[in-house]
Amino acid sequence: METPIRAELTGAPPDALGEPLELYRLLFQTAPQGMVIQGADGAVLAANAAAERFLGLSLEQMAGRAALDFPWACIREDGSPCLREALPGMEALVTGRRVENVVLGVANPRPGGTTWLEVSAIPLFRAGEPSPFRVFSTFQDITERREAEDALRTSEEKFALAFNASPDSININRLEDGVYIAVNDGFSRITGYASEEVLGRSSLPGDLGLWVDPEDRARLQEGLEREGMVQSLEASFRRKDGTVVIGLMSASLIQIQGQPCILSLARDITERKQAESERRQLEDQLRHAQKMESLGSLAGGVAHDMNNVLGAILGLASANLEAMPAGSQARGAFETIASAAVRGGKLVKSLLTLARQSPAEERDLDLNTVLREETGLLERTTFARVRFELDLCPGLRPIRGDASALNLAFMNLCVNAVDAMAGGGTLTLRSRNLDDDWVEVMVEDTGCGMARAVLERAVDPFFTTKPVGKGTGLGLAMVYSTVKAHRGQLEIQSEPGRGTRVRARFPACGPAAEVPQPAAAPQASAQAGLKVLLVDDDELIQSTVQSILEILGHAVTMAPSGEEALRELEAGLCPDVVILDMNMPGLGGTGTLPRLRALRPEVPVLLATGRVDQAALDLVRLHPKVTLLPKPFTMGELKQHLEG
């Protein structure tokens, strides 16, 4: 066996070394790569310091031994065992060919792990001999590099997993031309495009057409150029099927192989935006309902006082009319006063209708009949500048409703339509059955239409675009309130120059039994000289009604409150009729009437009110011999009630 050779080649004849050999010794020993020389039988003849370090064996442990006898196991890159006969050095000896860059894992030398080596082996030949007599092997420790590659590979696998598992859209585009170089599954779910359909194509407008608004793409580009990143950019994208989704985008500039690219993330917020829009609509509806409720409270409070004032004016005017000769100047003046008071009463009633505090006298209605009546009336009053068309469903289902309230609502719609067609046009009224539960009426004109800002406020009370004195701003608001009071829905569609279409939908009903009407309350006798107990807290009503009653020849006892009236009755007063105001401080009409009826069961009562609400109707229904007397009333109306 040959003597093992260290770097200093101990035992070699000094005179045989010479200067070049000393240099080779130095290079051999200090080389960072492991180096081993094996003889023809595979036994180790020489090994440098790096080889000892990498293999975990000293030269003495390796000398004279073949690699087959070393106490460590080798594995290949895939983890499978490497037979020692297949080690690079042995392979080079057997085949006589170079073996290069074989990666092997040595299990034993490195405590707690495997040392990975990249090994090459070169066979050496003597002149004229076919078989190698030596093998020169080199190897490099690539353990750290291998671990780094494994870590990188693991990171890439994790990134790929996160990239494709993200529910959000992630894509990478070249900055220069917008070409897609990577898209994830979230991108495909949101856009509808498979990855193979977009890779290699551009995100710029004009190619895929994903950007609905090119300005969104321009804002993205501008933000990237200015700050290198963009956050929370809302943009609309057109999916492959043509539908539009809204995305919340973030993007930043990155470098891939030295090329500037855009990494974009987008979250589909379409449902959230729709929910926000629906929430805003509900908030608008709530604000409108609150506004209408406030208006109702205001109208209800104002109506009582206004009707008292109008009642005093109308009562005195009608009383004086009886005393004025026909054709006289004074009679004409009182007629004007009475007409103005009646007009004011109608305005107050309109306010109460708007506030939905006037109860609907519901019965089964055929809306076709209501529409024909409105058309007939309008055709006689609008001359020939507007053409009327009726498209009425012959089998229209009936609804439950108040005919007068609906007449007024449709009249308001038709008048608005006629006003919008100053130069002429066509007004179309249509009706149809939507399904088993709904009936629809449509009023459509070919007029000037409404701008969006006007349309949004069209049903707001007191909002009008008409000149001062031409409109109150209550028309559409009253229509809206009437439709809602009938448990219906109102929809207005309009564009400038394209006319207006109003759709009113009402719940349909089947044939209904006639609602029994309460029997008329017995009235006071027609004789003059009745004893009347007038119960009212308003001084104007007290003086006015007292004057009217005295003109009619009746005796009047005044009581400014329900409590005072009950004291008079308990003291023995026996009136022939009681005129009881509904709205007073204290007991009011609601608290006074049951006590009054207990004291005087047979006396007729005229329940006077300027606010005909459900409470008043309930009193009339529950108590016998009670008749409703709406304010304001004329002397003739009061006389009719007393003598009826």
Over the stretch 403-461, which tens digit does the pLDDT of each residue have? Answer: 877 887 888 888 888 888 877 888 899 999 987 789 999 999 988 888 887 777 666 65
pLDDT band at residue 380 using 50, 70 and 90 as cut-offs: low
Write down which residue in 217, 237, 268 finishes a domain: 268
Residue percentage of the chain with pLDDT more than 70: 79
CATH number, domain at 631? 3.40.50.2300
* Same domain for 426 and 399: yes
Residue 187 lies in a domain: yes
* Contact call for residues 631 and 308 (beta carbons, < 8 A): yes
* Contact call for residues 590 and 617 (beta carbons, < 8 A): no
pLDDT value of position 28: 84
- pLDDT for 547 beyond 90: no
Contacts of 333 (CB under 8 A, 6+ apart): none
Residue linked to tokens 């009383």: 319
Over range 384-400, report the average pLDDT. Answer: 85
- Among the residue ranges 124-128, 285-289, 356-360, 431-435, the one predicted with the least confidence is 356-360
Residue linked to tokens 């104007």: 540
* Same domain for 424 and 542: no
Q: CA 264 to CA 273: how far, in whole Å?
A: 21
Q: CA 440 to CA 396: how far, in whole Å?
A: 9
* Contact call for residues 606 and 579 (beta carbons, < 8 A): yes
pLDDT value of position 521: 41
- pLDDT for 299 beyond 70: no
Domain count, the chain: 5
Q: What share of the chain is helix, strand, coil (3-state, %, to 5)?
A: 40, 25, 35
Determine the residue type at 30.
T
pLDDT value of position 274: 86
* Same domain for 552 and 443: no
Q: CA 606 to CA 532: how far, in whole Å?
A: 10
Of the two residues 632 and 322, the one the predictor is more confident about is 632
* Same domain for 493 and 382: yes
Residue 159 lies in a domain: no
Write down which residue in 507, 542, 560 finishes a domain: 507
Tell me the per-residue pLDDT of 477-498, one tens digit each, with 9 for 90 and over. 778 878 888 888 888 888 888 8
Comparing CA positions, the residue from 484, 434, 145 lying closest to residue 288 is 484
Write down which residue in 234, 268, 302 finishes a domain: 268
Residue 446 lies in a domain: yes
Residue percentage of the chain with pLDDT more than 90: 8
* Same domain for 503 and 382: yes
Dihedral angle over CA of 45, 47, 53, 57, nearest 10: 10
* Contact call for residues 117 and 34 (beta carbons, < 8 A): yes
Its domain, for residue 633, covers 531-643
* Same domain for 438 and 377: yes
The phi, psi pair for 632, rounded to 5°, reads: -80, 150
Over range 288-300, report the average pLDDT. Answer: 65
Residue linked to tokens 């309008």: 378
* Same domain for 27 and 140: yes
pLDDT value of position 5: 40
Tell me the per-residue pLDDT of 556-610, one tens digit each, with 9 for 90 and over. 999 999 999 999 999 989 999 999 988 888 888 888 999 998 899 899 999 888 7
pLDDT value of position 14: 44
pLDDT value of position 381: 60
pLDDT value of position 518: 41
Dihedral angle over CA of 357, 362, 368, 372, nearest 10: -60
pLDDT value of position 354: 54
Helices (H), 355-496: 367-381, 403-419, 452-456, 475-485
pLDDT value of position 9: 36
Comparing CA positions, the residue from 514, 577, 579, 511 lying closest to residue 544 is 579
The pair of structure tokens assigned to 419 is 């006003």
pLDDT band at residue 11 using 50, 70 and 90 as cut-offs: very low
* Same domain for 503 and 368: yes
Of the two residues 27 and 526, the one the predictor is more confident about is 27
Contacts of 209 (CB under 8 A, 6+ apart): 238
* Same domain for 489 and 406: yes
pLDDT value of position 559: 92
The phi, psi pair for 505, rounded to 5°, reads: -115, 135
* DSSP letter for each residue of 383-423: TTSEEEEEE--TTPPPEEE-HHHHHHHHHHHHHHHHHT-TT
Over range 23-47, report the average pLDDT. Answer: 84
Cα separations (Å) of 615 from 169, 523, 591, 594?
Answer: 62, 22, 11, 13
* Same domain for 280 and 396: no
Q: Whole-prediction pTM value?
A: 0.41
Residue 6 lies in a domain: no
- Among the residue ranges 61-70, 500-509, 583-592, the one predicted with the least confidence is 61-70
- pLDDT for 323 beyond 60: yes
CATH number, domain at 262? 3.30.450.20
Residue 450 lies in a domain: yes
Over range 70-89, report the average pLDDT. Answer: 72
* Contact call for residues 169 and 266 (beta carbons, < 8 A): yes
Tell me the per-residue pLDDT of 140-174, one tens digit each, with 9 for 90 and over. 888 888 777 777 677 666 666 767 777 788 888 88
Three-state helix/strand/coil letters over 218-271: HHHHHHHHHHCEEEEEEEEEECCCCCEEEEEEEEEEEEECCEEEEEEEEEECHH
Of the two residues 504 and 469, the one the predictor is more confident about is 504
Tell me the per-residue pLDDT of 349-360, one tens digit each, with 9 for 90 and over. 666 655 554 444
* Same domain for 246 and 205: yes
Residue linked to tokens 């390796």: 62
Contacts of 115 (CB under 8 A, 6+ apart): 54, 56, 105, 106, 109, 141, 143
Residue 229 lies in a domain: yes
Q: CA 154 to CA 143: how far, in whole Å?
A: 16
Residue 380 lies in a domain: yes
* Same domain for 175 and 114: no
CATH number, domain at 440? 3.30.565.10
pLDDT value of position 566: 92
Residue 357 lies in a domain: no
pLDDT value of position 506: 92
Q: CA 334 to CA 322: how far, in whole Å?
A: 10
Q: What's the mean per-residue pLDDT of the chain? A: 78
